[in-house]
Amino acid sequence: RLYRIPFGMPDCQEESEARTLYLVGDFSAPAEFFVTLGVFSFLYSMAALDFCVTVCFAFFWLVAAAAWGKGLSDVKAATRPTALIGAMGVCQEEGVVCRAGTPPAMGLANISMKG
């Protein structure tokens, strides 16, 4: 808004007073547009960054869930009564009979995979 800015301009004649002049033009619209676009760009960047972080966390959650599923499967295989009996040296001796007892309770572990 240059028309609001007064400035004094000498008349270049001896003993004359400076005249007050005003500039011509109003260039505020392009400046306001530039600032508005900058603010919206910043807000969009923050939203896009938030989206990217959300996507990354969702991906890592999926990978962690798959890893825990594999880990749970391995725990179940390692604690299966027949696997435990097969690992005991005493059960491999001649004349020794080993029987599996109650299978381990895996209810809470199974629930952790569903959640």
pLDDT tens sequence for the chain (115 residues)? 777 888 777 777 766 677 788 888 888 888 899 999 999 999 999 999 989 999 999 999 999 999 999 999 998 888 888 888 888 888 888 888 888 777 778 888 888 877 5
Give the model's pLDDT for residue 112.
Answer: 80
Buried b / exposed e along 9-29 (16+ C-beta atoms within 10 A) = eeeeeeeeeeeeeeeeeeeee
Do residues 98 and 91 touch, judged by C-beta distance below 8 A? yes
Model pTM?
A: 0.54
Give the model's pLDDT for residue 115.
Answer: 58
